[in-house]
């Protein structure tokens, strides 16, 4: 299931102001293919509102997908909903009335409508998915993470490590060092 391609031949024949609303969808597999960090979970679904402009078609896309990412604290799977709302502009490469070639402006959110008058939302959706990805995904807001000593997942309960152990060992090492430096100090006077 992938309906990110929309034939806009009839909309291109209309005057500026003509509009259409289309459902958009991409399978969980194609979402995972677009964003390598995610483990697929559910398909992307949403709508694209297309508005005929004087030279182009404006697309306003609203879509969401639930994906699984690695929790940044405990490394377990974290279910995250990626919500997207973005605008992109699509320019015809062929004049639908005359068949002559048209130039596409060279800027970031401008895309080409292909020679079959098909508008492909995939690249814009891919870019927006990357933007929507959280920097530090969490499986839950209160994820306890992993024990720094043994790697135990602390969400499953405490591990056997003594949280005081590191501090205790360092403290006794400090005592030994202090002791040694005192011994090495030359005696004053005599």
* Contact positions vs Zn ion (CB under 5 A): 71, 73-74, 139, 143, 147, 149-150, 152, 159, 161
Least separation in angstroms between residue 73's CB and Zn ion is 5
Least separation in angstroms between residue 174's CB and Zn ion is 23
Residue from 69, 84, 68, 67 nearest 125 by CA: 84
Nearer to Zn ion, 45 or 153 (CB): 153
Nearer to Zn ion, 96 or 161 (CB): 161
Residue 129 has φ and ψ, to the nearest 5°, of -60, -40
Least separation in angstroms between residue 68's CB and Zn ion is 12
* Rounded-to-integer distance, Cα 59 and Cα 52, Å: 9
Backbone φ/ψ region at 117: left (φ over 0), alpha (ψ -120 to 50), beta:
left
Are the C-beta atoms of 96 and 9 separated by less than 8 Å? yes
Residue 99 has φ and ψ, to the nearest 5°, of 80, 5
Nearer to Zn ion, 22 or 73 (CB): 73
Least separation in angstroms between residue 158's CB and Zn ion is 8
Nearer to Zn ion, 150 or 176 (CB): 150
Residue 179 CA, chain-centre distance (Å), reads: 55
Least separation in angstroms between residue 150's CB and Zn ion is 3
Q: Which residue has the tokens 């309960």?
A: 157
Nearer to Zn ion, 23 or 163 (CB): 163
> What is the H or E stretch that residue 182 is in?
helix 165-184
């Amino acid at each position: 299931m992938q309906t990110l391609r929309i034939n806009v031949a009839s909309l291109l024949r209309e005057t500026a102001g003509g509009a259409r609303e289309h459902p958009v969808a991409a399978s969980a597999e194609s979402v995972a293919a677009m964003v390598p960090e995610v483990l697929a979970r559910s398909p992307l679904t949403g709508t694209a509102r297309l508005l005929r402009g004087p030279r182009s078609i404006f697309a306003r896309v609203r879509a969401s997908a639930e994906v699984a990412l690695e929790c940044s604290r405990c490394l377990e799977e974290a279910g995250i909903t990626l919500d997207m709302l973005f605008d992109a502009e699509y320019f015809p490469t062929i004049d639908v009335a005359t068949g002559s070639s048209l130039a596409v402006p060279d800027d970031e959110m401008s895309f080409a409508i292909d020679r079959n008058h098909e508008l492909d939302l995939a690249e814009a959706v891919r870019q927006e998915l990357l933007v929507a990805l959280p920097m530090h995904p969490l499986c839950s807001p209160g994820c306890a993470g992993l024990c720094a000593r043994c790697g135990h997942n602390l969400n499953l309960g405490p591990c056997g490590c003594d949280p005081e152990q590191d501090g205790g060992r360092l403290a006794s090492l400090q005592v030994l060092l202090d002791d040694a430096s005192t011994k090495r100090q030359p005696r004053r006077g005599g």
